[in-house]
Amino acid sequence: MSHPHPELGAPPALKEGALRITPLGGLGEIGRNMTVFEYGDRILIVDCGVLFPEDEQPGVDLILPDFTYIRDRLDKVDGIVLTHGHEDHIGAVPYLLRENPDIPLIGSKLTLALIEAKLAEHRIRPYVLEVAEGDRERIGPFDCEFIAVNHSIPDALAVAVRTPAGMVVATGDFKMDQLPLDGRLTDLPTFAKLAEEGMDLLLVDSTNAEVPGFIPHERDISAALRNVFANAERRIIVASFASHVHRIQQVLDAAHEYKRKVAFVGRSMVRNMGIARDLGYLKVPGNLIVDVKQLDDLPDKEVVLICTGSQGEPMAALSRMANRDHQIRIVEGDTVVLASSLIPGNENAVYRVINGLTRWGAKVVHKGNAKVHVSGHASAGELLYFFNICKPRNLMPVHGEWRHLRAAADLGILTGVPRNRVVIAEDGVCVDLEGGVARIVGKVQAGYVYVDGSSVGDITEASLKDRRILGEEGFISVFVAVDSTNGKIVGGPTIQARGSGIDDNAFVPVAAKLQEALDRSASDGVLEIRQVQQLVRRTIGKWVADNYRRRPMIVPVVVEV
């Protein structure tokens, strides 16, 4: 089993006849999926998604892959293959196309419709190539065959990429539900045919590799939803991903059966469900959908709202309802259904929302107390079955945290993949397929790129550290005016604290100490502003640490007069 080493250097030039695979996101994390394929001087990208921020990334809206590795070669990119329409696979496409809007997008009908709607908001009109399962397209030197896979969104595809160096199969996100709502099974016969041809490298979804057995059927949720509808006293509010068409379909079916009207809440939910309905992926009984403005005219027991916010996102509709910051007010007797799983890292945010909703009297139904969610990712039993069908010569787990990647690797070894042909990589690690063997050859830059409002890439780790300090410890500002000729204090020091829990009057003793230190420094001939600022920061910082055991941010403002 090969794995990255922290001392990996830059990769060598790609050898003639070899294929290089470089994940720029999606390994060691759930999200930001993006993999770069290189053959000769041409590039194919599979997926280009975002990662959602966690608590230690305050103020960040989205996290993108780092495009540095390919930025000066975007004219060499023959296309971006999108396996399905989830944000962690398509969300970063607008940011890449801002840098080169001429890169073609390749995907299924629903996937392209979702990304085109997103790109329209960025005023980008891409060239698109619609494909379906069974199609085979030549994209530069990459011969791509598309295979149906079952996931928690319709129209998901795996892709087999053939080059003279060999065949690489990327599953995208998938599971093997044998009773899917849309009847679209993961195409195991085609995977078996690819195995007969010779699958040189398999990039496999590892998210549920630690979960034993098989994932329950999506249709099994129907009974739990109907139980909720049968017992709900007032409004029912369902929170789900804005792209989970199968889950929304079951909610619509239950609403129709129990004679309730449905309103979609939230821009992305309204947009995506409109697209799914127009394309025929969402079957909506007549007169079932109403505008949210009509809800006041309906009795509560006849209302269902479907909104975003199942992951506790602070600006999503459900979080705002929990915080009393939304036009829809939660009242005693409402039932809220969280129809999704918890993405790792979002637990605290979700439980805050649950507590907020419960505070206002809502009954909250979630995966922990009812069967209202099943995963969209293959578990260990399915992966074993899948590996035995595919018989990959080399295996590289993707789409998962380290524990998931390791678990998938172990399953592959159990099914006969040689240990030395299993590659556990991380973001930025280059893997070359040459002579039928996949091996790690180096590492490139693949850090986080933060989106904060309209700012892309301007926020650094140092900026986030400052934000965390401000949020946890507060800050202290110190104003001092000094004579530019002799360094003597002519004004101040004036000390103010915000968010530190220290009263401004408490700084009287340290103000005198600071004045002494500054006078001494001036006598020693220290006149440079930067040195004076450091002296202020050290003096105040030591006093606060000694007396309060805190480390707030200290902002010295030194003015020469």
**Structure-block tokens of residue 124:** 């980008």
pLDDT at 475: 77
pLDDT for 371? 78
Q: How far apart are CA 274 and CA 254, in angstroms?
A: 19
pLDDT at 320: 86
Amino acid 1: pLDDT: 61
* pLDDT surpassing 70 at residue 511: yes
pLDDT confidence tier of residue 464, bands split at 50, 70 and 90: low
What is the 8-class DSSP label of residue 526?
-
pLDDT at 457 (0 to 100): 63
Which of the two residues, 539 and 332, has the higher pLDDT score? 332
- Alpha helices (runs of H) in 58-130, residue ranges in sequence order: 68-71, 87-90, 93-97, 109-121
- Residue 559: pLDDT band (50, 70, 90) is confident
Average pLDDT, the chain: 88
pLDDT digits (tens, 9 = 90+) for 432-443: 999 999 999 999
Per DSSP, helices labelled H in 76-184 are 87-90, 93-97, 109-121
CA atoms within 13 A on the CB side of 211: 16
Query: CA torsion, points 348, 338, 269, 245, in degrees to nearest 10?
Result: 130
With bands split at pLDDT 50, 70 and 90, how would you rate the model's confidence at 374? Answer: confident
Q: What is the pLDDT of residue 345?
A: 63
Question: What is the average per-residue pLDDT within 125-148?
Answer: 97
| Predicted confidence (pLDDT) at residue 395 exceeds the cutoff of 60 | yes
pLDDT more than 90, % of the chain? 56
Other beta carbons less than 10 A from residue 560's beta carbon? 13
pLDDT in tens, 271-297: 999 999 999 999 998 889 999 888 888
Tens digits of per-residue pLDDT, 24-72?
Answer: 999 999 889 999 999 999 999 999 999 877 666 666 778 899 999 999 9
Per-residue pLDDT band for 537 (boundaries 50, 70, 90) equals confident
pLDDT reading at 378 higher than 70: yes
Rg for the chain, CA atoms, rounded: 28
Collect all residues with Cβ–Cβ distance below 8 Å to 390 and sequence separation of at least 6: 169, 191, 192, 194, 195, 199, 202
Q: What is the pLDDT of residues 65-86, one digit of tens each?
A: 999 999 999 999 999 999 999 9
Which of 177-181, 223-227, 511-515 is the least confident region? 511-515
**What is the structure's pLDDT at 58?**
62
